[in-house]
Chains A and B, each alone.
Chain A
Amino acid sequence: MNSLQQDPSPILEFRDLNVWFEGRHRFAHVVKDVNFSIRPGELMGLVGESGSGKTTTILAAMGLLPAAARVSGEILLGGRNILAYGPGSVAQHRWKDIAMVFQGAMNALNPVKSISWQIGEAIRAHTSLRGEDIRRRTAELLDLVGISPASGKNYPHQFSGGMRQRAVMAMALACNPRILLADEPTTALDVIVQDQILKLLARLAGELRLAVVMVTHDLGVVGAVCQRAAVMRHGAIVEQAAVPILFSQPRHSYTRELFSAIPSLSAAAETRPPPPEDHAPLLEARDVSVVYQRTVSPGDLFRRRQPQPMAAVNNVSLAVGYGELVALVGQSGSGKTTTLQAVLGMVPVIQGSVRIGQMETTALNARAWRPLRRRVQMIYQDPYESLDSRYRVKDIIEEPLLIHGIGATARERLAMIEDVLKRTSLTPAEDFLYRYPHELSGGQRQRVAIAASLILKPELLLADEPVSMLDVSVRTGILALLDDLRRTERMGILMITHDLSTAAKYADRILVMHEGRIVEAGPTREVILSPRADYTRRLLACIPDIARPIHAI
């Protein structure tokens, strides 16, 4: 913070930046009069939902807009307008002055070249270093981002997500840029890894006096690492301020809406009532284990070896009662989705028992399961993927009725469909019946998927990250719908989430899963406010929070 006062002149400044995309018939105005600036050593957040124009804004500074883009305004680098002469004048600053960390490090790295080679390539392109010097500099950069230089000879697919993100950052720093543009640098990462990457970013900004513009949809991330932030909506900045001010007194209604969608963890947990006492549990899983077995290949037969089984879920026990909402929390690969699949009978359980309403399901084959499917329904993560794009809303919701032979006539079924649309707030029903999924928003799609499950009147609803693919502002609606269903219909809901604050706000009980096991289980209040397992404590500590800012060292 001190450095800001010493060096008040901005290193990068956007002045009245406008970007249009030329379409077949019209121009789409995607960035509107954007003004902001950033100083050396400063971390600035650019927050917005998908399509708000935040990525386009920073791509303009790299000169990497698609050919259909029309740009006006100025982007000043150290006081000089780099947009002045069009694409050519922006291009010469790439990587030397302004470097970028792209979203999705897997796709941003060339899969057939080693990490060191890709870092070295940038050095070779912009400096006079050659041979041994490049090797030394590459090792130095890897070290800087916390990768052992020896593993630089690896290829991207041999790295974990967090390591790839570090490698991409090392590559961005190769030519000592003054500005780093980071596009959703932590989006696909788990909380603990996200925390490490954010700390690294904060450290680099401080050590190297880098100006970092961080594009993100996650207000928590902004609160934890940024000094200032701008909120974008429909291509325009609606509000920008220092982070403490933005978080304590948001002025714009949209900003307030965004904040209301991210409940504060401890506040949410404190308001949770104790879970209802229910003696007859709806779902009861005991000591369930699931193993993934690779199929035998000809090579295995030749060598007389057995493919090694991999335990995905290990002795998991859980229970969900009528009208209860239980959250299953954990990082990717912790086995939470597999647990859900096991409850749903879609992966074989090798050990343990699963009972749904007193009925043992582990021994049932696919055919015997079918009638039971009416009672257990699943909501999938990605509403863009989980609806058949060729089906209209009516057909999507009617399909389960046809599968189970419910409703004798089309008229009868239509009445049921209209009713369920009403219950999922897709009203008036006539507006939705004959539309295709791609004509609906993400939130509406997820409601259609929920409606298609509800129409079977299930007792148990399994939800796999039902809101993680949705924009922040529509999440609350979907979660409130689920909350309402379990209250009014006495449905039991088992919900997977990686987001502890969502769990804290809606769940009666929380199960924390790690490496295939449940490491902690208990009422929401206890798990959040007085966690017992180390892992839960670590998880809680890594959630980005304005109250615990990650300071530049």
Chain B
Amino acid sequence: MNEMTTSQPPAEVQAGYGFWATMAEAFREPGAMVGLTIVAFITIITLASGFLEPYPLREASCPVFAPPSLHHWFGCDDGGIDVFSLVLHGGRISLLVGTCSAVIAIGLGGAIGIVSGYFGGWTDVILMRITDYFLVVPQIPLMIVIAAVWGASISHVILTIGILMWTSTARLVRSQVMSLKERSYVRRVESLGAGHTRIIFHHILPQLGPLLVANTVLAITVAIFNETALSFLGLSDPDAITWGSIMTHAFNRAAISSGAWWAIVPAGMAVALITTGGYLIGRAIEDALNPRLRISYLSPREWKLLPTAQPRKGANG
């Protein structure tokens, strides 16, 4: 594989090793820093929403569908409730749903992927058949069916989203573990006499660290995204305020025909922002892990001929 890399720029461009080195490499990408800033900003604001909400959420503080103004930055909804306060508050449950579902999904997917990939054989065959099934079944319709039968509440929504999202993580982790298991450093440790527990927890799991972080970040955003869809289809907790329910509510109360875009846009932008942030972070980590992305043989730039004998920055590195 690396025979041709001899013609590539030398070591300083190559990635480092280990968890923090990968993270450092990932966050060297400006996009990742933008993503981190966005996610951190939204998380902090949301956590502090109790102190920041300017108006009450259960009683009217302004006229119906009042447009944005100095006092009500994002305007008001159909009940005369301040949209800014709603979006701040809604972030809490949206983020909670996102985080909890992601933890369930990554925990389940990671565990199944590791067991399946490491032990192989029939365990692998059975686990992967189950994974394949969940991978093929369309998730939202399944969520609709489960939520419809099970009843709508936030904890049910979290569980449903979490349980339906683990499959891609399981596949990814499995393939990584299968290749790690065959790497000679693992075989060497095995021949030193190490047991399965030691190999998995000391030598395989840590290598998966950055990948799992990337996956978790992406899963959080996907979960938030899915909650808005469930909410739009009337399957989320009707009493909970989430970014999804704010949009749904406004849509159902004719915000569009009233021209009250401000009742929809802030919540939608909040979802878009956190998804963008999460995507940028997750993507950057995955890219840092993939050495193949560092080379392109069809680059629009070409090498250059120097008229002089020495390059400008000084020779002999």
**Which of B82-90, B170-178, B302-310 sits within the interface?**
B302-310
Asked whether B301 lies within 8 Å of A67 as measured between CB atoms, the reply is yes
Q: Which A residues touch B188, using CB under 8 A? A: 378, 380, 386-387, 449, 452
Tell me the bound Cα distance from A371 to B193 in angstroms. Answer: 7
Asked whether B6 lies within 8 Å of A71 as measured between CB atoms, the reply is no
Closest to A439 in B: B17
Asked if A27 is an interface residue, CB under 8 A from chain B, the answer is yes
A-contacting residues, B39-80, CB 8 Å? none
- Residue-wise, chain B 275-317 has the 8 Å CB interface mask toward A (1 for contact) of 0000000000000000000010001011111111111011111
Tell me the bound Cα distance from A427 to B18 in angstroms. Answer: 26
Please give the number of chain A residues whose Cβ is less than 8 angstroms from any Cβ of chain B in the complex: 69
Tell me the bound Cα distance from A369 to B190 in angstroms. Answer: 11
Tell me the bound Cα distance from A370 to B195 in angstroms. Answer: 8
Q: Which A residues touch B315, using CB under 8 A? A: 20, 27, 29
Asked whether B4 lies within 8 Å of A103 as measured between CB atoms, the reply is yes
Q: Which B residues touch A59, using CB under 8 A? A: 7
Q: Which B residues touch A51, using CB under 8 A? A: 6
Asked whether B4 lies within 8 Å of A102 as measured between CB atoms, the reply is yes
A383 vs chain B, min Cβ distance (A): 9
Give the contacting residue for B303; candidates A25, A67, A102; CB below 8 A.
A67
Supposing A66-B8, A390-B206 touch, asked if A399 and B306 sit within 8 A by C-beta, the answer is: no
Asked if A404 is an interface residue, CB under 8 A from chain B, the answer is yes
Asked whether B7 lies within 8 Å of A55 as measured between CB atoms, the reply is yes
Q: Which A residues touch B7, using CB under 8 A? A: 55-56, 59, 64-66
Most A CB within 10 A of own CB, among B3, B17, B125: B3
Tell me the bound Cα distance from A25 to B191 in angstroms. Answer: 43
Q: Which A residues touch B192, using CB under 8 A? A: 373, 377, 399-400, 403, 452-453, 456
Closest to A50 in B: B6
- Residue-wise, chain A 152-190 has the 8 Å CB interface mask toward B (1 for contact) of 000000000000000000000000000000011001000
Supposing A107-B1, A373-B192 touch, asked if A65 and B6 sit within 8 A by C-beta, the answer is: no
Q: Which A residues touch B307, using CB under 8 A? A: 72
Asked whether B193 lies within 8 Å of A72 as measured between CB atoms, the reply is no
Closest to A57 in B: B7
Tell me the bound Cα distance from A389 to B18 in angstroms. Answer: 7
Tell me the bound Cα distance from A359 to B305 in angstroms. Answer: 68
- Residue-wise, chain A 60-104 has the 8 Å CB interface mask toward B (1 for contact) of 000111111111100000000001011100000000000000111
Asked whether A68 lies within 8 Å of B303 as measured between CB atoms, the reply is yes
B-contacting residues, A262-300, CB 8 Å? 295
A385 vs chain B, min Cβ distance (A): 5
Q: Which B residues touch A453, using CB under 8 A? A: 192
Asked whether B191 lies within 8 Å of A387 as measured between CB atoms, the reply is no
Asked if A382 is an interface residue, CB under 8 A from chain B, the answer is yes
Closest to A53 in B: B6
A64 vs chain B, min Cβ distance (A): 8
Closest to A379 in B: B188
Asked if B139 is an interface residue, CB under 8 A from chain A, the answer is no
Q: Which B residues touch A26, using CB under 8 A? A: 313-314, 317
Most A CB within 10 A of own CB, among B121, B122, B315: B315
Interface size bucket, B side? 35 or more
Asked whether B303 lies within 8 Å of A65 as measured between CB atoms, the reply is yes
Closest to A372 in B: B193
- Residue-wise, chain A 16-31 has the 8 Å CB interface mask toward B (1 for contact) of 1010111111111110
Asked whether A390 lies within 8 Å of B309 as measured between CB atoms, the reply is no
**Which of B179-187, B236-244, B247-255 sits within the interface?**
B179-187
B288 vs chain A, min Cβ distance (A): 14
Asked if B141 is an interface residue, CB under 8 A from chain A, the answer is no
Tell me the bound Cα distance from A30 to B10 in angstroms. Answer: 9
Asked whether A22 lies within 8 Å of B9 as measured between CB atoms, the reply is yes
Tell me the bound Cα distance from A229 to B19 in angstroms. Answer: 45
Q: Which B residues touch A29, using CB under 8 A? A: 315-317
A333 vs chain B, min Cβ distance (A): 17
Q: Which A residues touch B121, using CB under 8 A? A: 295
Q: Which B residues touch A507, using CB under 8 A? A: none
Asked whether B195 lies within 8 Å of A66 as measured between CB atoms, the reply is no
Asked if A133 is an interface residue, CB under 8 A from chain B, the answer is no
Closest to A103 in B: B3
Supposing A65-B7, A66-B303 touch, asked if A436 and B17 sit within 8 A by C-beta, the answer is: yes
Asked whether A18 lies within 8 Å of B309 as measured between CB atoms, the reply is yes
Q: Which A residues touch B6, using CB under 8 A? A: 50-51, 55-56
Tell me the bound Cα distance from A183 to B6 in angstroms. Answer: 12
Asked if A314 is an interface residue, CB under 8 A from chain B, the answer is no
A438 vs chain B, min Cβ distance (A): 5
Asked if B189 is an interface residue, CB under 8 A from chain A, the answer is yes
Tell me the bound Cα distance from A67 to B207 in angstroms. Answer: 32
A539 vs chain B, min Cβ distance (A): 25
Q: Which 3 A-B pairs have the closest CB atoms?
A: A373-B193, A69-B303, A389-B17
19 residue pairs of the A-B complex, CB under 8 angstroms, read A18-B306, A20-B315, A21-B10, A27-B314, A28-B10, A28-B317, A64-B7, A67-B302, A70-B306, A184-B3, A369-B193, A373-B192, A381-B184, A387-B185, A389-B185, A390-B19, A399-B189, A403-B198, A456-B192
Which B residues are closer than 8 A to A by beta carbons?
A: 1, 3-4, 6-10, 12-13, 16-19, 121-122, 125, 183-185, 187-195, 198, 203, 206-207, 295, 299, 301-311, 313-317
Seed contacts A26-B317, A27-B313; 6 additional CB < 8 Å A-B pairs:
A70-B303, A70-B305, A71-B303, A71-B306, A404-B193, A438-B16
